[in-house]
Amino acid sequence: MVYKYRVLTGEQKRQFETEGYLIVKGLFTEEQLTEVERTFEDISYQVIPGHFEPDLREETTDPLKRYPRVMHPHQFNETAKRYMLHQPVMDVLADLYEEEPLAAQSMFYYKPPGARGQALHQDNFYLKVEPGNCIAAWTAIDPADEENGGLLVVPKTSEYDIVCPDSSDSKESFTTHYVKPPKDQKAIPAVMERGDVLFFNGNLIHGSYRNKTKDRFRRSFICHYANSSATRIATYYRPLFRADGTPVELETNPNGGPCGVEYDTPYIH
């Protein structure tokens, strides 16, 4: 049986398979983007243990202390869960997987002016989806470019093996791991407009540089997914969810963890 793509063209599917990533426009309305924006603006003034723990004091030397990333907001916020299961995104994922996608994780990055980036890494080092792979859906809430620390991707590394990472430069990256690109392959910027969604698979090497601007945030809503034929995933990402919100339990794959281990954060494999 030949899988019939529902929303993607054959050319888009070939680009994802060849380059390891694909930018899709038009999956969110402006009204929906505003709802996401307002939801996380409200969250930014709260302390939610285990999910979002900002330093709300007026004086902080590290902008990421005031605006850390929000981890798993779908576990405490219904709007975040609804957009993790956003049908237009799930439809693209179904085309990419050629089977039903399962939602595994949600995150929100504020990335304020001056914030460090995230060193190059591979997502399935953390999610450990087997058999198959994870796919990220990275939605730009603000325009993302080289100046404000937009995402960098290393094309054609989607077939590159998952490797044991080296240590990153803590002055430039808020996470500890760094994966060096293969010889003769370089990271390129994925320049995105508000509402664009970047899809990439779990082996693709990607990361971001520092936000070099003085007045521009680089907010993004990021979710990770697994193929429904997978049987194992790291415990941090359980349970998973079908598009209708039904929870799905996969076997625990040992040694996974949050996407990128932060400096000064205890982490036990």
Which string of DSSP letters, residue by residue, matches 169-186?
-TTTBSBSEE-PPPTT--
Structural contact between residues 198 and 21, judged by C-beta atoms closer than 8 angstroms: yes
Residue pLDDT, tens place only, 150-175: 999 999 999 999 988 888 877 788 88
pTM over the 0.75 mark: yes
The answer to whether 178 touches 165, Cβ cutoff 8 Å, is yes
Question: Taking the CB of residue 17, how many other CB atoms lie within 10 A of it?
Answer: 13
pLDDT digits (tens, 9 = 90+) for 25-82: 999 999 999 999 999 999 999 999 999 999 988 666 789 999 999 999 999 999 999 9
Q: Which domains does the chain have, with CATH numbers?
A: 10-46+61-253 (2.60.120.620)
For residues 93 and 139, what is the distance between their CA atoms, to the nearest angstrom?
A: 14
pLDDT band at 192; cut points 50, 70, 90: very high
Give residues with Cβ within 8 angstroms of 43, minimum separation 6: 52, 70, 73, 77, 108
> Cβ(190)–Cβ(152) under 8 Å?
yes
Q: Which residue in the block uniquely carries the two structure tokens 């990021």?
A: 222
- Which tokens hold the place of 113? 């002016």
Separation between Cα atoms, residue 224 and residue 245, nearest integer Å: 15
